[in-house]
Amino acid sequence: MGTDVAYRSAVDLAGAIAERRVSPVEVMEETLRQVEAREPSLNAIVFRGFDEAMESARSAEEALAQGEPGGRLRGVPVLMKDLFDFKPGWPATFGGIPAMADFSIDGYCVWAERMEAAGAIIIGKGNSPAMGFRGCCDNYLFGPTGNPFDTTRNTGGSSGGSAAVVADGLVPIAEGTDGGGSIRIPAAWCGVVGYQPSAGRVPSILRPNAFSGVSPFIYEGPITRTVEDAALAMSALAGPHPGDPFCALDTPDFSASLDRGVEGWKIAYSPDLGVYPVQPEVAAVVADAVKAFEEAGAQVVEVDIDIDIDQRELADLWCRLIMPLSLDAFSNLAAGGLDIIGDYLTEVNVTSPTCIRELDREYDGNIAGLLFDAIETRL
């Protein structure tokens, strides 16, 4: 395969490295060269851990030369996300909050911990909106991320930096997290595979304790260019973790599922879930894509879903259900001396300053009260 690694799949790279057709150092050198040449037009990588990545590549090459066993992703370059995602010594700006430009957490998030355990090499962190609370990728500290297909347009959010770098062929796997579309939106806008696993499939551990991750709306999964790479990444990410009391205990063989097929399945399909406005052009593309299931032998049945709540009301409810995560993070940061919603509120464009102050005053840190009140109000 030579040293041309652009647009190579993770499966291809991992196999070539394991068979010693290319070295981890060669892969990393070419990856970083491509990033230096092409990333400035994207503004997708907000922290570059290039020196550390090269050191890890050399270590991987030495271990390979000595015949030491390695993980399924040994030597494969990947990108993590700059949100609730940590690696010791690396900045954690929680989505480009200027006051947190030099903030870091001395610990690993599950994604970084497990990808490195599988042998992958993290080259840096990808851009995200503040607290992940926007459908586009932009913030006050780093600015917007350009879409590789048209850099005057956005990648979508919140995992926009990850989607851009994968779509542009710079790395085969990047981290995605999702609470309201943050994997799905940028994957759709950038034409890549965004896999949002079921709740609990990938453990959720948010600082400072495991019970910060109890929201059923938080998911973590890979952004890739192929379904095969998504399955490979999930083989590294999924599985129980002692820090998450709600994670799934089994570990499916995701790669084995690739050949299972859908012949004989009966699949329900709704063009708009009964309530969401969809542009005709988008609806037409999706309707055409659904035919692939029929071509594979499944029966697709279009269903009508009767929801008597409009899309705006559902969105407002979602905001109230997801906001406890941000409020909890702000509270913990304030306890450490960084009062984001007091001293730096204008840097966090997640919702109106008045709304945040009212919620903070009304519940006085009682995040559970906020959550259950929102549920009771709707139900």
Which range among 159-173, 212-226, 323-337 has the greatest average pLDDT?
Answer: 159-173
Average pLDDT score over the chain: 88
Q: Which of 60-69, 168-177, 179-188, 330-339 has the lowest mean pLDDT?
A: 330-339
158 is catalytic: yes
Q: What is the pLDDT of residue 321?
A: 78
Task: Give the H/E segment covering residue 316.
Answer: helix 311-335
User: Distance between CA atoms of 270 and 180, rounded to whole angstroms?
Assistant: 19
Q: What is the DSSP string of 121-155?
A: EEEEEE---GGG-SSS---TTT-PPEETTEEEEE-
The model's pLDDT over 15-54, given as tens digits with 9 standing for 90+, comes to 999 999 999 999 999 999 999 999 999 999 999 999 999 9
23, 162, 182, 212: the active-site residue = 182
Q: Write the single-letter amino acid at 179.
A: G
> Does residue 349 sit in helix, strand or coil?
coil
Mean pLDDT of 168-196: 96
Q: What is the DSSP string of 151-206?
A: EEEE--SSSHHHHHHHHTTS-SEEEEEESSSTTHHHHHHHT-EE--PPTTSS----
Q: What is the pLDDT of residue 368?
A: 42
56, 81, 87, 215: the active-site residue = 81
Q: What is the DSSP string of 212-225?
A: GG--TT-EEEEEES
Please count the helices (runs of H) and the strands (runs of E) in the chain: 12, 10
Which distant-in-sequence residues (6+ apart) come within 8 Å of 52 by Cβ? none
Task: Name the token pair of 39.
Answer: 């990333």
41 is catalytic: no
Domain boundaries, the chain: 10-259, 266-302, 311-378
Residue 97 phi, psi (nearest 5): -80, 115
Task: Name the token pair of 284.
Answer: 């037409």
CA distances from 366 to 208, 271, 289, 351 (A): 16, 39, 45, 19
23, 56, 158, 204: the active-site residue = 158
Taken as a whole, the chain contains a residue count of: 379
Please give the share of the chain, as a percent, with pLDDT higher than 90.
66
Q: What is the pLDDT of residue 246?
A: 82
Q: Which CATH class is domain 10-259?
A: alpha beta
pTM of the model: 0.89
> Does residue 65 sit in helix, strand or coil?
helix
The model's pLDDT over 264-302, given as tens digits with 9 standing for 90+, comes to 999 999 999 998 889 999 999 999 999 999 999 999 999
144: nearest Cα among 155, 135, 134: 155
Asked if 30 and 5 count as a contact pair (C-beta separation under 8 A), the reply is: yes
Expressed in angstroms, the distance from the first to the final Cα of the chain is 58
The model's pLDDT over 54-93, given as tens digits with 9 standing for 90+, comes to 999 999 999 999 999 999 999 999 999 999 899 999 999 9
266 is catalytic: no
The model's pLDDT over 312-323, given as tens digits with 9 standing for 90+, comes to 888 888 888 777
User: Distance between CA atoms of 136 and 266, rounded to whole angstroms?
Assistant: 35
